């Protein structure tokens, strides 16, 4: 069922069993689990089914610290969320990502990778991926041409990726609209969350839209699924009953914001061509690998988890920085800049077909960011058009982040030397061992994580291992905001898995 | 640059000016392979080789002499070794095994191949 909240009577009251706030990847993944339920699920989406600049502008804010993309441009604010233009890259987090590592401050999830495995498998169906199988040897046996570099498996392993083409808007809109259980309200932007006197239980949320309509939604269970930045913003902005915001007794909401550092970091020059389909994009293979550092080597070198992808240097040298290209508040225009640059670089690369550079590759880092309490989302005094304080993001990196990137390439450089495949050249920003500064054009993956981190105790995080906000019995957070550490892979597969796990948990409660 | 052309140029350069006469009087003549890292010629041109060699010498000025570099390159080896290419390849591999890796202009090189570049550079500038 679909209702446009702009057409409701002002001050309407909507009641249901479960209220999901946000119809992006996490929210829709959960809603789909309730399609045939006898319970009434209210799914609130701030936008409609298409891009709306007024709705999108509600994401605007300011950034400080390490240069970041315009906040308004980093998420899509309509049904389906950022799956509207995502790259579809999926790979599970590694077991070490969930573990406490004494060289990574604030690391250690209260759940293990094994706890998520069954949900990863289900998430594959939601995202229309292939089998939940990331074992290199079995894929190698299945697909010809997946030839790995002959490097030491104790140091470097081949981490596989699968690719989803799921756009949740076109893929699931009809299913949701036709459901009798799920009541989708578009143009319903939640602006406040209200609870009982002691704030141990939520009673209702208040939603508004640009048509001037307000409605209140009452439910037994509430799930925040607006994305890591907006979830934190909404908790902090819900100050009607508590000045510090909901779930923020320990001043942790919004802290530990993490991104994936995704940056061209080095070059690999091969002595001879190495024909393989394993490491580069190819439309005729279901999987691709990135060179990853083993758990053993991470421990020995006290570094973060990260991977390295390859693409032709002839292309890489022509590409501009994404941080410079993705500079427009309008995500559509930023995306256009981005794709135009790739097209230009490809055209330039096609002209270079000879010489040793034709055997050379840009080595592109994809690495977790160390959890840092000073990397955080707070509120500005300025408010958006619906009266919610705007977001301020201070993105702050640490010396461990940079040392880890440098060390990854030193390890890889040694492996290339040992195998005599070729030589690795560090990019300028990694050459000085004592330099902890970051270039202004450092790229990030548009991945927002950690702002409502998961922990066993309220002193260390915002949500418990079931994604319930500590101290509030019926308020949950879905999505990558719950990540305690950010892992190396893109967050979508893991956030869908975590959302399905949350859905199961709530089903037991209602 | 084509490898054969590169080797040809290198050999000529080395034969003409490379090794001071006093060195001939005290040491045997060495294979030209000693003066450049064979594998790197497949990815670098001559100016790059010279540049890397100079960067190495700037970073390790104590090695800024042909004699010193030759001694270091042949350290532990017989002066009359039969196949210097093979010997140096093994030495380079051992460098990587034992983590004797230097960073020159961002390149992660074995100490041996970096010294070969340095020696090549000294032959070029004489």
Q: What are phi and psi of A468, to 5 degrees?
A: -85, 135
Nearest to B39 among A271, A359, A431 (CB): A271
> pLDDT band for position B15 (50/70/90)?
very low
Mutate to test the interface with B, among A411, A417, A419 (most CBs of B within 10 A): A417
Indicate the pairing of strand A475-477 with strand A221-224. parallel
pLDDT above 60 (res A119):
yes
The whole-number average pLDDT for the span B37-65 is: 95
Measure A313 CA to nearest chain B CA, in Å. 13
Say what the pTM is: 0.94
Measure B58 CA to nearest chain A CA, in Å. 16
Query: Closest chain A residue to B39 measured between Cα atoms?
Result: A271
pLDDT above 90 (res B66):
yes
Sorted by sequence, the CB contacts under 8 Å of residue A12 that are 6+ apart come out as A213, A215, A216
CA separation for the pair B42, B4 (Å, rounded): 10
> pLDDT band for position A231 (50/70/90)?
very high
Task: Please report, rounded to a whole number, the percentage of residues in chain A having pLDDT higher than 70.
Answer: 99
Interface check A427 vs B, CB under 8 A? yes
pLDDT above 80 (res A281):
no
Domains of chain A by start residue, with CATH: 1-57+76-129+164-255+446-510 (3.50.50.60), 139-163+261-367+398-437 (no CATH)
Sorted by sequence, the CB contacts under 8 Å of residue A340 that are 6+ apart come out as none
Query: Closest chain B residue to A431 measured between Cα atoms?
Result: B106
The reply to whether residue B107 touches residue A427, judged by beta carbons under 8 angstroms, is no
CA separation for the pair A105, A373 (Å, rounded): 10
Whole-number Cα distances in Å, A138 to A146, A224, A287: 11, 38, 11
pLDDT above 50 (res B19):
no
With contacts defined as CB-CB under 8 Å, which chain A residues touch B42?
271-272, 356
| ∠ Cα B98 B99 B105 (to 5°) | 150
Longest dimension (CA), chain A: 73
Interface check A317 vs B, CB under 8 A? no
The reply to whether residue A417 touches residue B96, judged by beta carbons under 8 angstroms, is yes
pLDDT of residue B81: 63
Q: What is the pLDDT of residues A366-423, one digit of tens each?
A: 999 999 999 999 999 999 999 999 999 999 999 999 999 999 999 999 999 999 999 9
> pLDDT band for position A354 (50/70/90)?
confident
The reply to whether residue A356 touches residue B43, judged by beta carbons under 8 angstroms, is yes
ipTM: 0.92
With contacts defined as CB-CB under 8 Å, which chain B residues touch A272?
42
With contacts defined as CB-CB under 8 Å, which chain B residues touch A428?
106
The reply to whether residue B108 touches residue A425, judged by beta carbons under 8 angstroms, is yes
Q: Which string of DSSP letters, residue by residue, matches A375-434?
A: SEEEEEEEE-TTSPEEEEEEE---HHHHHHHHHHHHHHHHHHHHHTSEEEEE-GGGS-TT
Domain locations in chain B as residue ranges: 3-125
Q: What is the pLDDT of residues A193-226, one digit of tens each?
A: 999 999 999 999 999 999 999 999 999 999 999 9
**Which of B13 and A50 is assigned the larger pLDDT?**
A50
The reply to whether residue B108 touches residue A423, judged by beta carbons under 8 angstroms, is yes
């Amino acid at each position: 069922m679909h209702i446009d909240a702009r057409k409701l009577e002002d001050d309407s009251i909507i009641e249901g069993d479960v209220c999901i706030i946000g119809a992006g990847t996490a929210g829709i993944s959960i809603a789909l689990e309730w399609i045939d339920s006898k319970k009434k699920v209210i799914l609130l989406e701030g936008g409609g089914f298409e891009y709306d600049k007024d709705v999108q502008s509600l994401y605007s804010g300011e950034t400080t610290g390490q240069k970041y993309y315009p906040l308004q441009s980093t998420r899509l604010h309509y049904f389906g969320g950022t799956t509207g233009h995502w790259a579809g890259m999926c790979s599970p987090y590694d077991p070490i990502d969930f573990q406490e590592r004494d060289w990574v401050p604030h690391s250690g999830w209260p759940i293990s990778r094994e706890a998520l495995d069954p949900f990863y498998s289900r998430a594959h169906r939601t995202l229309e991926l292939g089998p939940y199988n990331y074992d290199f040897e079995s894929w190698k046996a299945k697909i010809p041409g997946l030839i790995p570099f002959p490097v030491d498996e104790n140091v470097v392993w081949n981490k596989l990726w699968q690719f989803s083409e799921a756009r949740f808007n076109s893929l699931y809109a009809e299913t949701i609209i036709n459901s009798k259980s799920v009541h989708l309200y578009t143009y319903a932007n939640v602006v406040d969350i209200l609870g009982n006197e002691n704030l141990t239980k939520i009673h209702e949320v208040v939603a508004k839209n640009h048509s001037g309509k307000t409605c209140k939604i009452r439910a037994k269970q509430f799930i925040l699924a607006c994305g890591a930045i907006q979830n934190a913003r909404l908790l902090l902005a819900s100050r009607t009953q508590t000045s510090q915001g909901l779930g923020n007794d320990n001043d942790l909401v919004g802290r530990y914001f993490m991104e994936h550092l995704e940056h061209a970091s080095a070059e690999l020059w091969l002595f001879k061509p190495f024909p393989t389909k394993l490491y580069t994009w190819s439309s005729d293979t279901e999987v691709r690998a990135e060179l990853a550092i083993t758990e053993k080597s991470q421990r020995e070198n006290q570094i973060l988890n990260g991977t390295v992808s390859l693409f032709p240097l002839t292309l890489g040298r022509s590409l501009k920085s994404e941080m410079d290209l993705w500079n427009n508040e309008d995500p559509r225009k930023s995306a256009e800049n981005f794709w135009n640059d790739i097209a230009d670089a490809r055209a330039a690369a096609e002209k270079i077909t000879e010489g040793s550079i034709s055997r050379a590759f840009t080595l592109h880092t994809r690495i977790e960011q160390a959890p840092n309490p000073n990397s955080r989302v707070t509120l500005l005094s300025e408010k958006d058009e619906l009266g919610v304080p705007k977001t301020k993001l201070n993105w702050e990196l640490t010396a461990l982040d940079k040392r880890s990137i440098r060390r990854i390439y030193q390890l890889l450089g040694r492996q290339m030397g040992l195998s005599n495949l070729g030589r690795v050249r560090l990019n300028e920003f990694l050459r000085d061992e004592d330099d902890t500064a970051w270039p202004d054009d450092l790229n990030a993956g548009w991945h927002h994580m950690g702002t409502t981190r998961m922990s066993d105790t309220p002193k260390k995080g915002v949500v418990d291992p079931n994604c319930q906000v500590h101290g509030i019995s019926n308020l949950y957070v879905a999505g990558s905001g719950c990540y305690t550490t950010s892992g190396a892979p893109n967050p979508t597969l893991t956030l869908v898995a975590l959302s399905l796990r949350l859905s199961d948990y709530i089903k037991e409660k209602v | 640059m084509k490898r054969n052309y590169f080797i040809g140029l290198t050999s000529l350069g080395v034969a003409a000016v490379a090794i001071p006469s006093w060195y001939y009087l005290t040491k045997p003549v060495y294979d030209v392979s000693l003066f450049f890292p064979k594998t790197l010629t497949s990815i670098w041109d001559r100016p790059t080789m010279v540049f890397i060699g100079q960067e190495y010498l700037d970073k390790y000025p104590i090695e800024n002499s042909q004699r010193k570099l030759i001694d270091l390159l042949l350290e532990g080896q017989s002066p009359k070794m039969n196949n210097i290419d093979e010997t140096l390849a093994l030495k380079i591999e051992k460098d990587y095994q034992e983590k004797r890796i230097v960073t020159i202009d961002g390149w992660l090189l074995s100490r041996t191949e970096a010294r070969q570049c340095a020696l090549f550079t000294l032959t070029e500038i004489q």
